[in-house]
Amino acid sequence: MNKATRKTVIAGNWKMNMTPDAASAFMKELAPMVAGKDECDIVLCVPAVDIAAAVEAAKGTNIKIGAQNVHFKASGAYTGELSAEMLTAAGVKYVVIGHSERRQYFGETDQTVNLRTLAAVNAGLTAIVCVGETLEQRELGYTETLLKFQTKMALTNVTKDQLKNIIVAYEPVWAIGTGVTATADQADEGNGYVRAAIAEMFGADVAETVTVQYGGSMNDANAAELLSKVNVDGGLIGGASLKTDKFTAIVDAAQ
């Protein structure tokens, strides 16, 4: 395994937090704190109403802006949804797809995750595709089966070339927003299952090039240990991405 073949990506997921004004203020504070820290890509996935403010504030910085969802149709009667074309036109480069909160509260399925992933990569967005087991599934011994299934479903019909625009985030559901972090070994193992699934679909060489993040209560105190693991190529960070100092510390851990 060779971590050097993969890009480390530290991505914040603000979830349903921050107004446009708060987003601008946050970005102005963060930009000088992470300036020149180019050993990882730095992304903030913001609420839709914050995209314009965040994209404007990110100009001339090393921070890229992401969205938190994308619809799979190009246009039409889908009230409340945003197309991939709308996001790219707004300056968005990344999009989170299949977050467990969307699977849990908004009826997201493995099939819609796949359709959204295809729509994103076809439009040139980088998709951050989330997979992860519940505590019950882990305790029943289904973690590997589940992670491989979710990963393969999400990547169905994705081409080898499009895989360059895919990041998979292993996010154990029991570790998201709970303050309970997977141990570094558990994170490495989960990410390894994701990579093995990609290898089964696309070959081992290709799988070695795909960025697989860990997400689930990653913070300034645990980031270095998690990121030291061979299969952990970055983080998807919720709570700790809402504080500039904590998020910067995670970026520092990735340098």
Active site residues: 99, 171
Among 98, 190, 234, 239, binds ligand PEP (CB under 6 A): 239
* Contact set for ligand PEP, span 62-101 (CB under 6 A): 99
Q: How many CA atoms lie within 13 A of 195 on its CB side?
A: 25
Of the candidate spans 60-68, 141-149, 153-161, 169-177, the one that interacts with ligand PEP by CB under 6 A turns out to be 169-177
Nearest residue to 27 (alpha-carbon basis) of 247, 224, 249, 236:
247
What are the DSSP calls for 21-76, one per residue?
A: HHHHHHHHHHHHHHTT-TTSEEEEE--GGGHHHHHHHHTTSSEEEEES---SSSSS
The tokens of 55 are what? Answer: 């994209």
Q: Output 35 or 174, the one with its CB closest to ligand PEP.
A: 174
> Which DSSP state fits 160?
T
Contacts with ligand PEP: how many residues (CB under 6 A)? 15
Among 177, 200, 204, 221, binds ligand PEP (CB under 6 A): 177
Range list of β-strands (E), the chain: 9-13, 41-45, 63-67, 94-97, 126-131, 166-170, 211-215, 234-237
Shortest CB 250 distance to ligand PEP, Å: 10
The amino acid present at 34, given as its one-letter code, is: V
Phi and psi at 12, nearest 5°, equal -90, 145
Among 27, 147, 218, 223, binds ligand PEP (CB under 6 A): 218
* Contact set for ligand PEP, span 95-124 (CB under 6 A): 99
Q: Output 154 or 236, the one with its CB closest to ligand PEP.
A: 236
Among 98, 132, 190, 238, binds ligand PEP (CB under 6 A): 238
Q: Which residues here bind ligand PEP, judged by CB under 6 A?
A: 13, 15, 99, 171, 176-177, 215-218, 236-240
